Amino acid sequence: MTSPAPSPDLLARFATIVGDRYAVTDAAEQEPYLIEQRGLWHGTTPLILRPGSVDEVAAILKLADDTRTAIVPQGGNTGLVGGQTPHHGEIVLSLTRLARIREVDATSNTMTCEAGVVLANAQAAAQQADRLFPLSLGAEGSATIGGVLATNAGGTGALAYGVARDLVLGLEVVLADGRVMNVLNKLKKDNTGYDLRHLFIGAEGTLGVITAAVVKLYPRPRSVETAFVAVPSPQAALDLLALAQQMTGGGATTFELMARISVEFAFRHAGCRDPLADQHAWYVLLEVSSTQTDGLRRRLDETLEAGLEAGLIIDAVVADSLDQRAALWRIRETIADVQRYEGGSIKHDVSVPLASVPDFIAEASAAATALIPGCRPCPFGHLGDGNIHFNVSQPVGADKDGFLARWHDMNDVVHAVVRRHGGSISAEHGIGVLKRDELARTKDPVALAVMRTLKTTLDPNNILNPGKVVSL
Amino acid sequence: MTSPAPSPDLLARFATIVGDRYAVTDAAEQEPYLIEQRGLWHGTTPLILRPGSVDEVAAILKLADDTRTAIVPQGGNTGLVGGQTPHHGEIVLSLTRLARIREVDATSNTMTCEAGVVLANAQAAAQQADRLFPLSLGAEGSATIGGVLATNAGGTGALAYGVARDLVLGLEVVLADGRVMNVLNKLKKDNTGYDLRHLFIGAEGTLGVITAAVVKLYPRPRSVETAFVAVPSPQAALDLLALAQQMTGGGATTFELMARISVEFAFRHAGCRDPLADQHAWYVLLEVSSTQTDGLRRRLDETLEAGLEAGLIIDAVVADSLDQRAALWRIRETIADVQRYEGGSIKHDVSVPLASVPDFIAEASAAATALIPGCRPCPFGHLGDGNIHFNVSQPVGADKDGFLARWHDMNDVVHAVVRRHGGSISAEHGIGVLKRDELARTKDPVALAVMRTLKTTLDPNNILNPGKVVSL
């Protein structure tokens, strides 16, 4: 077991590694590392360590392992499942000072980033080299490369470019005992033994601490076209996606489904304007991209016409300016946030096989309203990935706390539908503490046993983010 | 330690699991499972087991684990590093009877294959559903899904679609002790705990036996255009690749570099005709694909014109018929095989960062000819992946055995250049026994230690393909 409260003497030894300036003990200074953005959790810690080098990270973990001291690694503190929060007074290991982009290699289409590089800065560095780093998500102004890899983040670019895991060529990882593993290569093909990258990507800092990564870059799109499309149903949206991929040669880089109620919240609370004259039950934000400068708008128009003819589209508008494009995106981007103006919201970040999305939405909506009559399902999300954020707003006028008290009941009925369709109860946010116990109840028992075996093997003293992902 | 020679009684217990008909002991019947196609190895075994179900695989491994009996899993027996061969009289576990395609889900773009499905059959099943399963390699008529996943095969489709690892959504794996791990899902996004797929993909059957997989399907290209292009240098080829990806919107699906000498062997020994009037130092087989039916030839022509103007292309011919296309492909496909008519050939399956390919080829060629004056480097391969098959033919008239006796010396000098460029000594063929000791000498020591830890943890009795990949 890890010791619950490190002694003042031990804390001083940790502080010495990074120097006093980067050993944060002041309560006000600590605050941004301890709060969770939605107020779900508030951590406590005697000490936040902000190492400035991989060697310092290694020294910290070695001391932690030797003294059985629990460590919570942290990037930009934007995680949504409580994985980066010290729930039990653990020492926080903040990676934000490892913020150097070590190299951009435009010819090899690779970029080598330290863990603390902010995602938006990584995107900007790629753009400066006339390349695209396609990982993109709401928190990109704060989220770090280390954090998005540790949680295997998804986001809006996953349709075309894959999730965070798919964008990694090489890794540098500090193991629980302080050894530094360097598989930081720039190779697309490397079959020299077991793939160790994917053990640490998505492990939420429980198996090792990622300190740097080589990520993939792509040719930068020269043209982008954005459409806001009303569709009769999720099934029509799915068929439209297949049509768009066929007609644009896989050029659809965004395909976000939104139920009417979710965009209505954006109109009501975020000042967004409805881009279409009439109201419709379902919408798709469709974006196509190309590395060519011309011809894309024509291909999009042809796609929309074909969709209209096939009955997959009721109405559509295409952005004619960057301002119009931004306005369309803003509808999608505010959806999650503006739900709070409608009272309590119970969230589900789930995925199902693509073919099951329409049935999932119908069945989960029915199950939710059967559980709490009057509740308002607001499904939206990355349809092309089968990833629906199935958020449920409280009934109008209901008691918020009373509604939120049924969080787990609601999860149970929605996740039961997910499982019936062979889906995942955490598509892109991870497990952290929020879904740990449910995972333990529902994961394939052999897979869960292998996970526990890996945890106890790679972190025998359970110092790395203990209690997250798997409980031992 | 595993017992070297199972007793007749124990062999009978194994045979009972699959039934006598599928317990192969006859020497002639065993032969195809024991030979290595190039004659590098010839295995021996008292028993080849051909289970017909996952349960039988599980029962075999449980008995093997209980009795410390070594097992060599095998697919289509096309591996190139000795990984599928029983070098020390182990029992062979052939997966070829698990040959059912359990499902093709065209809407979700997934296919669920058992391990023994032959790669070409998987491709055909996808095509029947109007989809593409893009993994393609020379041995696809014999290689199995289980084999290509266990070795993380690459092939000619990797440029556009990634290596085998990138094509897998879910896995079913029998662990060393016979437990069946089912993470056989069809999800693009699944962040419920550690990624266990990638532990077993590329592990060459040393950590578990893959019995089924869910693989990704893609829209089937509606048009394909193929060009045979003479380029002044590998650097020009690299620049042409970037130009082609830019101008075709990432439509380049094949980009194979070939040195003059390698295609000359194909002309001389395989009856291939030189498609160009003059001789040139370097060639590229360039193929572009599109899900659209028209416009592709124009885009290819524009690309070739731009390449000519930029000095990246000296001459080029575009296939005007399927026959012409086949003739161009045949040049590339026979290169590796026809080298044997030129005497001994020492092979290297290496990769380097894309930007380093030109320097690597120049430096490795110089190093090879410095070691053995008169030897003939024949570099060719998947330039877009940084993966060069750097094969070296013997000097004209030299003694073949004498030349081949210097295999390891040649490997040493070529791999030294690879390492200097941060490359991999096994890009797509794996480690097996062929490169195991070199891997142990050259891999990052911490990564190697983690590999050994994983092996001893997941296969504590060392029954799964012992001696392959890592030695303990």
DSSP A24-39: E--HHHHHHHHB-TTS
Question: Would you call B163 and A189 a contact, using CB atoms and an 8 Å cutoff?
Answer: yes
Environment class of A138 (CB within 10 Å of its CB; exposed 0-12, middle 13-18, buried 19+): middle
Determine whether the interchain pair A109/B354 forms a contact, defined as Cβ–Cβ distance below 8 Å: yes
| Contact map slice: A 382-421 vs B, CB within 8 A | 382, 385-387
Q: Which residues of B touch A469 (CB under 8 A)?
A: 193-194
As a whole number of angstroms, the distance between CA A50 and CA A92 comes to 9
Residues 6+ apart with CB under 8 A from A329: A226, A285
Q: Which residues have CB under 8 Å from A4's CB, separation 6+?
A: A88, A89
Q: Looking at residue A38, what is its pLDDT?
A: 81
The C-alpha torsion from A360 through A365 and A371 to A377, rounded to 10°, is 130
Q: Which residue has the tokens 């003479």?
A: B230
Contact yes or no for A312/A240 (Cβ under 8 A)? yes
- Contacts with B182 from chain A: Cβ below 8 Å: 444, 446-447
Instruction: Using alpha carbons, list the distances in angstroms from residue B434 to A192, B114, B291.
Output: 12, 28, 41
Per residue in A422-458, pLDDT (tens digit) is 999 999 999 999 999 999 999 999 999 999 999 999 9
Residues in chain A with CB shorter than 8 Å from the CB of B429 are: 191
Phi first, then psi, for residue B324 (nearest 5°) are -65, -40
Alpha helices in B312-406 (DSSP H): 322-338, 357-371, 400-404
In angstroms, the separation between the Cα of residue A91 and the nearest Cα of chain B is: 23
- pLDDT for B10-54, tens place per residue? 999 999 999 999 999 999 999 999 999 888 899 999 999 999 999
- Distance from the Cα of B353 to chain A's closest Cα (Å) equals 6
Report A:450-469 residues touching B (Cβ under 8 A): 450-451, 453-454, 457-458, 469
d(C-alpha B118, C-alpha A218), whole Å? 33
DSSP H/E element including A420: helix A407-420
Give the pLDDT of residue B4. 61
Q: How confident is the model at residue A403 (pLDDT cuts 50, 70, 90)?
A: very high
Across the interface, whether the CB atoms of A424 and B242 are under 8 A apart is answered no
**What pLDDT shows up at residue A353?**
97
Shortest Cα–Cα distance, B449 to chain A (Å) = 9
The tokens of A363 are what?
């069945």
Model confidence, pTM: 0.96
Instruction: For A451, name the nearest residue in chain B, comparing CA atoms only.
Output: B194
Mean pLDDT in each 10-residue stretch from start to end of chain B (472 residues)?
Answer: 78 98 98 91 97 98 98 97 97 98 96 98 98 94 98 92 97 98 96 97 98 96 96 98 90 95 96 96 96 89 98 98 96 92 95 97 98 98 95 96 96 97 96 96 96 98 97 87
Write the pLDDT tens digit of every residue in A365-401.
999 999 999 999 999 999 999 999 999 999 999 999 9
Average pLDDT, chain B: 96
Reply yes or no on whether the pLDDT at A332 is more than 90: yes
Q: Which residue has the tokens 């009941």?
A: A409
Q: Residue B349 is encoded by which pair of tokens?
A: 């399956």
Q: A25-29, A94-98, B223-227, B244-248 — which is least confidently predicted?
A: B244-248
Distance, CA of B291 to CA of B130 (rounded, Å) = 11
Q: Which two tokens stand for residue A225?
A: 């076209």
- Select the residue of A250, A439, A453 nearest B193 (Cβ to Cβ): A439
pLDDT one-digit tens code per residue, A170-219: 999 999 999 999 999 999 999 999 999 999 999 999 999 999 999 999 99
Chain A: closest CA distance from residue B241 (Å): 10
Statement: residue A4 has pLDDT above 70: no
Three-state DSSP class for residue B452: helix
Flag if B158 and A189 touch (Cβ within 8 Å).
Answer: yes
Q: Which two tokens stand for residue B276?
A: 């160009």
Backbone angles phi, psi at B382, to 5 degrees: -85, 80
Q: Which residues of A touch B196 (CB under 8 A)?
A: 447, 450-451
Residues from chain A that touch B107, judged by Cβ atoms under 8 A, are: 238, 242, 354-355
How confident is the model at residue B155, as a pLDDT?
Answer: 86
Six-digit token string for B149: 């996943």
Verify whether the Cβ–Cβ distance B353 to A105 is below 8 Å: yes
In this complex, is the C-beta atom of B430 within 8 Å of any C-beta atom belonging to chain A?
yes
**A212, β-bridge pairs:** A114, A172
Q: Please name the residues between 71 and 100 in chain A that touch chain B, using a CB distance below 8 Å.
A: none
pLDDT range class, residue A52, cuts 50, 70, 90: very high
pLDDT digits (tens, 9 = 90+) for A138-162: 899 999 999 999 999 998 889 999 9
* In the predicted structure, residue A1 carries a pLDDT above the cut 50: no
